[in-house]
């Protein structure tokens, strides 16, 4: 009976307590809670993420986009005021539905001026230990993880070599792609399920081609994107960056995203001029992270599916 909530009353109460716990954590550290719009004039350009588009009506002169993350608006606040901030927000992603995905979900996002990504990883670990109980923390560089677990260097291996390793362990069928596609396949199918078994597992310093909105720096003989992901019991829980602050580089990345979208037959997305103007004004050196609240609640309750922790999931909304 779809009129009834999917989550039990006990889990609904646990969600309420979790939200209170998150707010206490940041209040104790002097991090300001903020709110930003869900419906904005620009959406994300990332080819792997699709926003919901709201057509224009009489009151709107152009379509609006439901936000896949509050990131852009929060960075505008950072550029204006430079204060550490957090937000508990609803976020929306088209085409993402499954045991760990719901097209509408809850996201915790926060930014720390003056932090690098290692300092932010420390704070994420503190938050997770507060929510899940004490767990050991382990950290791997992306390169170290591939070398230890798959005996391959992800920065120097050819696309053909990565494909051979993938086909040795899994059956990707007739799939074809570039180095990043094979790296992502190896990560998602072979490495991620082993991460965070009773621990908090952080993976950091990804290939520059996977930097997203993170800074790219030289690390010995390679360039790395200063970002991290957190895994707990094989579940990807958080994604953080030492944030790119250069508006010109950011525009170039947006343009590259749209070029990829065109190659794949996807629609181009408008570039967020408000964000670029804020960055041009001056985004402070900072790190930021987004953490899935629904997935965290799944871990806290032992729920196998995201639908079990949502009052009304996509099929009931």
Rounded to whole angstroms, the Cα distance separating 153 from 197 reads 24
Inside any domain, residue 95: yes
Q: Rounded distance, CA 67 to CA 53, Å?
A: 9
Q: How far apart are CA 272 and CA 276, in angstroms?
A: 7
Domain assignment present for residue 64? The answer is yes
Please check whether residue 165 lies inside any domain of the structure. no
In this prediction, residue 17 carries a pLDDT of 98
The residues that bridge with 33 in the sheet, in sequence order, are: 86
Are 40 and 67 in contact by the 8 Å Cβ rule? The answer is yes
Asked if the structure places residue 160 within a domain, the reply is no
Q: What is the pLDDT of residue 59?
A: 67
Is residue 189, in this structure, part of any structural domain at all? Answer: no
CATH for 18: 3.30.930.10
Domain assignment of residue 316, yes or no = no
Q: What are phi and psi of 163, to 5 degrees?
A: -65, -40
Q: Is residue 164 part of a domain?
A: no
- Taking each helix axis from N to C end, the angle separating 179-186 and 159-169, rounded to the nearest 10 degrees, works out to 30
Confirm whether 244 is domain-assigned.
Answer: yes
Q: In what order do the strands lie in the sheet with 64-66?
A: 39-40, 64-66, 52-54
Enumerate residues 6+ apart whose C-beta is below 8 A from 58. none
pLDDT in tens, the chain (317 residues): 678 999 999 999 999 999 999 999 999 999 999 999 999 988 899 998 999 988 877 766 788 899 999 999 999 999 999 999 999 999 999 987 788 999 999 999 999 999 999 999 999 999 999 999 999 999 999 999 999 999 999 999 999 999 999 999 888 787 777 889 999 999 999 999 999 999 999 999 999 999 989 999 998 889 999 999 999 999 999 999 999 999 999 999 999 999 999 998 998 999 999 999 999 999 999 999 999 999 999 999 999 999 999 999 988 88
Q: Which domain holds residue 13?
A: 9-135+198-309
At 107, give phi and psi (nearest 5°).
-130, 135
pLDDT for res 60:
67
Q: Which residues contact 154 (CB under 8 A, 6 or more apart)?
A: 142, 143, 146, 162, 183, 207
How many structural domains does the chain have?
1
| Residue 228: both structure tokens together | 């991290």
Of 43, 45, 24, which is closest to residue 33 (Cα–Cα)?
Answer: 24
């Amino acid at each position: 009976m779809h009129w009834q909530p999917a989550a039990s009353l006990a889990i609904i109460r646990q969600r309420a307590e979790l939200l209170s716990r998150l707010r206490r954590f940041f209040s104790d550290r002097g991090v300001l809670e903020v709110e930003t719009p869900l419906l904005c004039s620009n959406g994300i350009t990332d080819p792997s993420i699709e926003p919901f588009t709201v057509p224009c009506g009489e009151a709107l002169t152009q379509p609006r986009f439901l936000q896949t993350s509050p990131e852009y608006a929060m960075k505008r606040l950072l550029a204006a005021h430079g204060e550490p901030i957090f937000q508990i927000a609803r976020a929306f992603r088209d085409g993402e539905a499954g045991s760990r995905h719901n097209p509408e979900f809850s996201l915790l996002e926060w930014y720390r001026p003056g932090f690098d990504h290692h300092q932010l990883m420390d704070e994420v670990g503190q938050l997770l230990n507060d929510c899940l109980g004490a767990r050991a923390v382990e950290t791997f560089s992306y390169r170290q993880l591939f070398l230890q677990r798959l005996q391959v260097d992800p920065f120097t291996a050819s696309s053909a070599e990565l494909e051979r390793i993938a086909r040795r362990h899994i059956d990707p069928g007739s799939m074809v792609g570039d180095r990043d596609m094979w790296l992502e396949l190896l990560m998602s199918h072979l490495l991620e399920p082993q991460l965070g078994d009773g621990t908090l597992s952080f993976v950091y310093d990804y290939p520059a081609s996977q930097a997203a909105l993170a800074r790219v720096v030289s690390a010995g003989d390679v360039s790395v994107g200063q970002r991290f992901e957190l895994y707990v019991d094989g579940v990807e829980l958080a994604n953080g960056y030492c944030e790119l602050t250069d508006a010109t580089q950011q525009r170039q990345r947006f343009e590259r995203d749209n070029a990829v979208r065109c190659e794949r037959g996807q629609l181009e997305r408008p570039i967020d001029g408000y964000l670029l103007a804020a960055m041009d004004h001056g985004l402070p050196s900072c790190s930021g992270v987004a953490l899935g609240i629904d997935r965290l609640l799944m871990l806290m309750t032992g729920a196998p599916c995201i639908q079990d922790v949502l009052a009304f999931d996509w099929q009931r909304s």
